[in-house]
A = this chain, B = another copy of it.
Amino acid sequence: MLGDPWTLVVLRDVVFGGRRHFRELLAQSEEGIASNVLASRLKALVAAGLLTRDDARRGQRARYSLTEAGIQTLPVLVALGAWGRAHLATTPLLAARQRAMEDGGPAFVEGLMNELREAHLGVPRPDPGAPRPSDALRAAYEAAR
């Protein structure tokens, strides 16, 4: 309802799945996204300034990075996920991760954004010794398996 579903799915897979290359976004897609749909949505996300596409060198694959504006969609994705968990059918695995984010509150989401800034923009985390929120998400996901 509240979005172009495929654009959100691609953004989600980059943000939460850590997928940066076309091939892994395609092969690991839980929804089985089609190749041409993935290509068009990646282009749209780059055009909107949420992703950048690093020029591939010879023999290398192009890699996508979140921009600061892309990273700041995280609270929107979390709010959408909370709505979905309350009102739509979901899977126990995805619900477990979503619940962990909701329970963690704004500080948890801010910590996740700092992890994304490190991975995508090369900005060190302000609290390098602190536990990584992504570890807590992975643990919640594994516990629900």
Q: Which residues of A contact B (CB under 8 A)?
A: 1-4, 7-8, 44-45, 48-50, 69, 72-73, 75-76, 78-80, 82-83, 86-87
Contact in complex: B69, A76 (CB < 8 Å): no
Residues in chain B near residue A7, CB distance under 8 A:
1-2
Residues in chain B near residue A2, CB distance under 8 A:
2-4, 7-8, 73, 76
Residues in chain B near residue A80, CB distance under 8 A:
76
Assess A1 versus B50: contact at CB under 8 Å? Given A75-B79, A80-B76: yes
Chain B min CB distance to A79 (Å): 4
Contact in complex: A75, B83 (CB < 8 Å): yes
Query: How far, in whole Å, are A86 and B50 apart by their CA atoms in the complex?
Result: 13
Contact in complex: B76, A72 (CB < 8 Å): no
Query: How far, in whole Å, are A73 and B78 apart by their CA atoms in the complex?
Result: 12
Residues in chain B near residue A44, CB distance under 8 A:
1
For A80, the closest partner residue in chain B by CB is B76
Give the one of A7, A44, A45, A80 with max B CB within 10 A: A80
Contact in complex: A83, B87 (CB < 8 Å): no
